[in-house]
Amino acid sequence: MTEFSNRQYFLASRPEGMPTTEHVQCRDVPLGEPAEGQVIIRNLYISLDPAIRGWMSDAPNYIEPIAIGDAVRSSVLGRVVSSNHPDFEVGDVGMAMGAWEQYTTLPGEALNKLDENLGIPLSLFLGVLGPTGLTAYFGLLEVGQPKAGETVLVSAAAGAVGSVVGQIAKMQGCRVVGMAGSDDKCDWLTGELGFDAAINYKTCGDYQAAIRQACPGGVDVYFDNVGGEILDATLTCLNKYARVAVCGWISTYNAAEIPRLDNLWQVVAESLTIRGFTVLDYLDRFEEGVTQLAEWMMAGKIKYREDIVDGLDNVLPTFLRLFDGSNAGKLVLRLPE
């Protein structure tokens, strides 16, 4: 590899089940000069998000699938190393949709400049002050519409999105119950984040019984990060006029088929509202969301965990940790400057 090559991981074939090195492969490609209006950033952080697994498939989704042969698409944060755009100088830092690669070449308009002098660790702009924090903020407040005194249940509660959902729900005066996959995660939710109760869904046995026990007054808002059997069980525990904010269905992303929901009739029986969303629905309100999240974070009202792993060559095994629950908080890959 010369200093003018770009190491990247690309989609060689579409996975069924967990992606492996058969589906995601490494190559070094030449790095050219930026064309008129373009910049080249050296990636400092790559955000590892469950949604990337969906983009590896060609099933209908909210954005185009990754084409076979293309580098694996990912949000990235990097430093400008070459600029042919009037708004960017070498040394500027910004965020964009990039890929699992050392350098990303992109139009200047696609790079969202960040101020390094705020004293905020840059990686947070991919997590609590970025897409995952914003997903929690808009998904809970706009879609879930929680009211003081109500009970909010959140799945994948110790993750990047779920942990912020629960803390915002507490600030709304709700009773908050989280579901997570280990006792350590459950202890963090109740011990440090102020959740009222937590369910270890891997050891609790019957989901319905566990939810009813942890939510004796029923559930008014379910923030669904996982879909599948947990969603199906929760449908039977929802109160009249409850809302389900469908954020993601991580339990199905590597599954051959999506399990059927036996309890969907509860939508009629309890006059439920089930509404899906993506954070992109709120693009024009991102500034409001980031400002509020930053204020809460600075005031210590929102705590977060980051799981930062070094080295581009670790990208695939690190990404897979999202699906066995071994990530603790927002999963980010760090590349050397």
Ligand X SMILES: NC(=O)c1ccc[n+]([C@@H]2O[C@H](COP(=O)([O-])OP(=O)(O)OC[C@H]3O[C@@H](n4cnc5c(N)ncnc54)[C@H](OP(=O)(O)O)[C@@H]3O)[C@@H](O)[C@H]2O)c1
Q: Footprint of ligand X on this chain (CB under 6 A)?
A: 49-51, 131-132, 135, 156, 158-162, 180-182, 185, 225-226, 247-248, 250-251, 277-279, 322-323, 325, 327
Structure tokens at 191: 């011990």
CA distance 285 to 142: 12
The string over 105-123, giving b where at least 16 C-beta atoms fall within 10 Å of a residue's C-beta and e elsewhere, is bbebeebeebeeeeebebb
| CA dist list (Å): 273 to 27, 137, 147 | 47, 19, 15
| C-alpha to C-alpha distance for 301 and 286, rounded to whole angstroms | 19
In single-letter form, the type of residue at position 16 comes to E
Closer residue to ligand X, CB minimum distance, 76 or 226: 226
For ligand X, the closer of residues 103 and 304 by Cβ is 304
Residues 322, 160: Cα–Cα separation, whole Å: 11
Residue number, 80 or 157, with CB nearest to ligand X: 157
Cβ proximity to ligand X: between 78 and 181 the closer is 181
Q: How far is the CB of 88 from ligand X (least distance, A)?
A: 27
Least distance between ligand X and beta carbon 217 (Å): 24
CB of 8 to ligand X, least distance (A): 22
The structure tokens listed for 79 are 């430093």
Instruction: Give the residue with the Cβ less far from ligand X, 156 or 242.
Output: 156
Query: Taking the CB of residue 162, how many other CB atoms lie within 10 A of it?
Result: 26
Instruction: Compare residues 70 and 184 and give the one whose CB is closer to ligand X.
Output: 184
Distance of closest approach, residue 29 Cβ to ligand X, in angstroms: 28
Q: Closest CB to ligand X among 277 and 286?
A: 277
Q: Closest distance between ligand X and the C-beta of residue 317, in Å?
A: 15
Residue 5 or 263: the one with the smaller Cβ distance to ligand X is: 263
Pairing of strands 73-83, 38-47: antiparallel
Place of tokens 């492969």: 25
Contact 135, 162 (CB under 8 A): no
**Minimum separation from the CB atom of position 248 to ligand X (A):** 2
Shortest Cβ 185–ligand X spacing (Å): 6
The closest residue (CB) to ligand X is: 159
88 burial type by CB count under 10 A (0-12 exposed, 13-18 middle, 19+ buried): buried
DSSP 3-state percent helix, strand, coil across the chain (nearest 5): 30, 30, 40
Q: Which is nearer to ligand X, 131 or 146 (CB)?
A: 131
Q: Are strands 219-224 and 238-246 parallel, antiparallel or unpaired?
A: parallel
Task: Say which DSSP state 215 is in.
Answer: -
**Shortest Cβ distance from residue 10 to ligand X (Å)?**
22
Q: Compute the least distance from the CB of residue 178 to ligand X, in Å.
A: 9
Calpha distance 296→15 (Å, rounded): 40
Exposure string (b/e) for 17-33, b if CB count within 10 Å is 16 or more? eebeeebbebeeeebee
